Amino acid sequence: MAMRPFKGITPKFDKTVYIDESAVLAGDVILAEDASIWPLVAARGDVNFIKIGKRTNIQDATVLHVTRKNQANPQGFPLIIGDDVTVGHKCMLHGCRLGNRILVGMGAIIMDGAIVEDDVFIGAGALVAPNKVLESGFLYVGNPAIKKRPLKDAEIAFLKQSAINYVALKNDYLEESRSAN
């Protein structure tokens, strides 16, 4: 894996985290326990910070980035992702805030200032516009993303299960890499 310091700040994580060797993490990136970063993910915490919650998985070829602080927006837009979040393949998350127990479908884009509350499904290919708020308990689809329907109980349960599944998978990868060494 490529860990790159930026302005003296290096990504931080503990031994329960899995980071694929082809991923690139730079600067102020913090990963909580049991998080996983899969092949070809790029996470660039250079002009603001990225924080990834417990048991959250960021899947293949996803790009994570932030927006710098400036006069019009003194805090800029960091990227904050909560616990038990599944981010599908080839997503783009830029300066947004995601709550807990969220599934971001493959190829979705979530832009600056957007807020995704807890227990949300975002459909594959959806575009969440800047500063949009996605309300808890719903499925959002389309470009631009619109509220489609309330989530069913089984779908809400799946949000947590998806995270649990990825914790088990990353543990298998960690065990295999330890066995190889």
The pLDDT tens digits for 88-130 are 999 999 999 999 999 999 999 999 999 999 999 999 999 999 9
Task: Provide long-range contacts, Cβ within 8 A and 24+ apart, for 166-171.
Answer: 166/36, 166/55, 166/57, 166/86, 167/34, 167/36, 167/55, 169/36, 170/17, 170/18, 170/34, 170/36, 170/57, 171/18
pLDDT band at 2 (very low <50, low <70, confident <90, very high): confident
Residue ranges and CATH numbers for the domains of the chain are 2-180 (2.160.10.10)
pLDDT at 1: 64
Q: How far apart are CA 134 and CA 155, in angstroms?
A: 16
Q: For 72, which DSSP code?
A: S
On the question of pLDDT at 178 being above 90, the answer is no
| pLDDT, average across residues 58-73 | 96
How many other CB atoms sit within 10 Å of the CB of residue 160? 16
pLDDT at 179: 85
On the question of pLDDT at 163 being above 80, the answer is yes
pLDDT tens string 9-18: 999 999 999 9
Residue 168: partners with Cβ closer than 8 Å, 6 or more residues away: none
